[in-house]
């Protein structure tokens, strides 16, 4: 998605440890007009997939998911990061290793909000090593819902997540795929996609 790539080039900051900071439009301040274009693009790619619900993970997936949901006209469910030792039987659970914070945490989704009849679009801001998506898929598996695919705003194609998730047979649509980035000179190279 050209508009997004241009914005990443203009405002993205490459940090050490393969981290891309996009706080000025995605992760802290939110460019709502850009999010609308992102939502339209996800609809273009996943229209006709009978999606009835969008699933994401708190916190940074929620904004993207809500604006995208307006185009699909479906509700959003977000997995919560479990901060207590919540032993409730009313939730599905998954484990996620945080790439940016280098720690593990549990995610939970209330059983009432994921049903076997659901056809899901899973959305997230970044795809790096794939742990967030794997945790969400763990939750979805327990619910019996089906997955039409995943929509990612920025995939770091030089990390293993995209290949790992696609190898499971899951469709992954990433609006910008970064093939390489260099913290020393700030250059970002995008994969050419059709």
Q: Which residues bind ligand 5GP (CB under 6 A)?
A: 19-22, 27, 60, 99-100, 124-132, 156, 161
Choice between 44 and 95, CB closer to ligand 5GP: 95
173: alpha, beta or left, given left = phi > 0 and alpha = psi -120 to 50?
Answer: beta
Least Å from the CB of residue 129 to ligand 5GP: 4
Instruction: Compute the least distance from the CB of residue 80 to ligand 5GP, in Å.
Output: 14
Neighbours of 184 (CB within 10 A): 7
- Identify the sign of the CA torsion 185, 152, 30, 34: positive
Name the residue nearer to ligand 5GP (CB basis): 97 or 111: 97
Measured from the Cβ of residue 173, the count of other Cβ atoms closer than 10 Å reads: 17
User: In terms of CB distance, is 13 or 111 closer to ligand 5GP?
Assistant: 13
Q: What is the nearest approach in angstroms of ligand 5GP to the Cβ of residue 89?
A: 27
Judged by CB, which is closer to ligand 5GP: 113, or 158?
158
Question: For residues 92 and 39, what is the distance between their CA atoms, to the nearest angstrom?
Answer: 27
**Nearest-approach distance from CB 8 to ligand 5GP, in angstroms:** 11
Q: How far is CA 116 from the centre of its chain?
A: 22
Residue 39 or residue 157: which is nearer to ligand 5GP going by CB? 157
Minimum CB–partner distance for residue 165 and ligand 5GP (Å):
9
**Among the listed residues 37, 42, 5, 34, the one whose alpha carbon sits nearest the alpha carbon of residue 181:** 5
């Amino acid at each position: 998605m050209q508009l997004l790539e241009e914005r990443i080039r203009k405002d993205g900051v490459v940090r050490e440890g393969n981290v891309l900071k996009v706080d000025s439009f995605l992760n802290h301040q939110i460019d709502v007009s850009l999010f609308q274009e992102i939502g339209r693009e996800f609809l273009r790619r996943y229209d006709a997939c009978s999606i009835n619900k969008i699933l994401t993970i708190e916190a940074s997936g929620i904004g993207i998911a809500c604006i995208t949901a307006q185009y699909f006209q479906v509700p959003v469910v977000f997995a919560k990061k479990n901060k207590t030792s919540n032993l409730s039987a009313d939730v599905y659970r998954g484990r996620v290793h945080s790439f940016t914070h280098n720690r593990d945490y549990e995610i939970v989704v209330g059983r009432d909000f994921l049903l076997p009849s659901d056809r899901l679009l899973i959305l997230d801001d970044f795809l790096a090593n794939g742990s967030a998506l794997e945790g969400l898929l763990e939750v979805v598996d327990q619910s019996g819902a089906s997955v039409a695919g995943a929509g990612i705003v920025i995939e770091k194609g030089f990390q293993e997540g995209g290949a790992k998730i696609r190898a499971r047979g899951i469709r992954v649509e990433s609006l910008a795929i970064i093939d390489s980035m260099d913290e020393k000179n700030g250059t970002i190279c995008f994969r050419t996609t059709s």
